[in-house]
Amino acid sequence: MSRFAPVALTVASALLVLTACGGVQGTPGGSGVRDPYFPKAGNGGYDVTHYALDLAYDPDDGHLSGTAEITARADKDLSAFDLDLQGMDVERVTVEGEQARWSRNGQELVVRPHDDLDRGETFRLTVRYSGTPQTVTDPDGSEEGWLPTADGALALGEPTGSMAWFPGNHHPSDKASYDISVTVPDDLEVVSNGELADRTSDDGRTTFHWRAAEPMASHVAALAIGDYDIRRSTVSAAGNSKLPVYTAVTPGQDEASRDVLAELPEIIEWAETNFGPYPFASTGAIVAEEGDAAYALETQNRPVFPGAPDTDLLVHELAHQWFGNSVTPKSWRDMWLNEGFATYAEWLWEEDHGGDSAQETFDALYDHGEDDHEDLWSFPPAKPTSAAHISDNPVYQRGAMVIHKIRQTVGDDTFYDIVQGWAADHRHGNADTGDFTAYVEEKAPDEEFTSVWEDWLYGDGKPDHP
């Protein structure tokens, strides 16, 4: 007998044992999904299906404590995976009830479960954390994340700020349902996404439980904590004759916002006529104080406004419920699909309510756009030059001009078929610019779109002909 035979038998036996124990070895999931503008945003290897957040906030000292229970599905065999979390102190991490090892690397929370996760496996991850949540400064200089206010806080997330207040897969390509419970002192209100499922008080503190059942990207998750006046009503909508309307208005903006918020039912009815059925189970608005944030945001179900909006701004943010929130971009390169449609909604509203026609608005921009929007032709809508410019005028105004060029090309009947079909076919999903151009060409196969795409959507500089 060879002296090496026993070694061979030992190796073979070890392989059998490994195989019997599920011997396929996982690999790390990856930090980031290689977004062209935010390469560290999101994470590879898994898909989140649900977030259950249990938070407590004390405005006096700015302290937030939280437990995030995340349900996800492994897209590959995983030995480790990342979550996005900016700041905050992590106290404990478990995967499937087993304590997991973890480490921090900038905004990455790297989790190493006790046992590898198999591809296709659904698992539950729990992260307990606390601290003072950070305000995040975007590449364009604007602030998001956790924004302290005089009596509470605003939490806004576009594009990456949600990682300041809960760990997650913070990229628009990974949408999930949410349960968000927040405990605050009794004299404060908490408003979030979806519908208010429960409200309980005990020992001077109140817990608000909000539930968003429809898929939601984390950048349109929101929290508003403060002294808000709450109003509940309903509006007639397709498929839901009593669509709940939930508005929260800070007392200082009550009078200034009353008339414009009264237009919300009419705007929803008008938008359904143009874009198809409203895609969520409730609607509304949050009106914070001027200065609480530097911009309005299309947070899902109820957009946030720093001060009373005008009608055009309310139309814009409500249009995002279809374009941006229900149909969500696959990457931040596709942001023009959000903003171009929402801006064009403003044009259509003006056209239908005694203002300039969309054609007149388009012509004025083409002829004099440099006067009011000096950067209008600085880059094409589908190719922002950097992360600092994804919210610049070419994405909004020139994006709307692309939508109008499609309308010019196909005529009104086919145009509205395209708009409503796009919103319906991609409802609660993700899509990119290539998906959109292919959809338009499929719905209008006899039309020529070369100039629309090459000159208006992707072309540099001002097109030669309007």
344-371 pLDDT, tens per residue? 999 999 999 999 999 999 999 999 877 7
Of 273, 235, 288, 279, give the one whose Cα is nearest residue 423: 279
Instruction: Enumerate residues 6+ apart whose C-beta is below 8 A from 284.
Output: 244, 245, 246, 247, 248, 264, 301, 302
Share of the chain above pLDDT 70, in %: 94
What tokens does 36 get? 């062209």
Question: Is it the case that residue 12 has pLDDT exceeding 70?
Answer: no
Please name the residue that has the structure tokens 């969309």.
Answer: 358
- Longest CA–CA span in the chain (Å) reads 98
Q: Is the pLDDT of residue 13 over 90?
A: no
What pLDDT was estimated at residue 10?
35
* Average pLDDT of the segment spanning 94-115: 97
Cα–Cα distance between 447 and 406 in angstroms, integer? Answer: 10
Does 11 score more than 50 pLDDT?
no
Provide, rounded to the nearest whole percent, the portion of the chain with pLDDT above 90: 91
Mean pLDDT score, 312-326? 98
Residues 262, 274: contact at Cβ < 8 Å?
Answer: no
Rounded CA gap, 345 and 275, in Å? 9
- What would the pLDDT profile of 279-296 be if each residue is shown by its tens digit? 999 999 999 999 999 999
Which residue carries 């405990």 as its tokens? 183
Using a 10 angstrom Cβ sphere, with 0-12 exposed, 13-18 middle and 19 or more buried, the burial of residue 117 is buried
The verdict on pTM exceeding 0.85 is: yes
pLDDT at 368: 87
What totals of helices (H) and strands (E) does the chain contain, helices first?
11, 23
Written as six digits, the tokens of 422 are 């796009």
Confidence of residue 167 (pLDDT cuts 50, 70, 90): very high
Q: What is the full DSSP assignment across 129-195?
A: EEE-PPEEEPTTS-EEEEEE-SSSEEEE-TTTGGGGTS-B--STT--EEEEEEEEEETT-EEE-SSE
- List 243's β-bridge partners, or say none: 235
pLDDT score recorded for residue 322? 98
How high is the mean pLDDT of the chain?
Answer: 93
Bridge partner residues of 184 (DSSP): 206
pLDDT in tens, 403-421: 999 999 999 999 999 999 9
Write out the DSSP string of 414-432. HHHHHHHHHHHHTTTSEE-
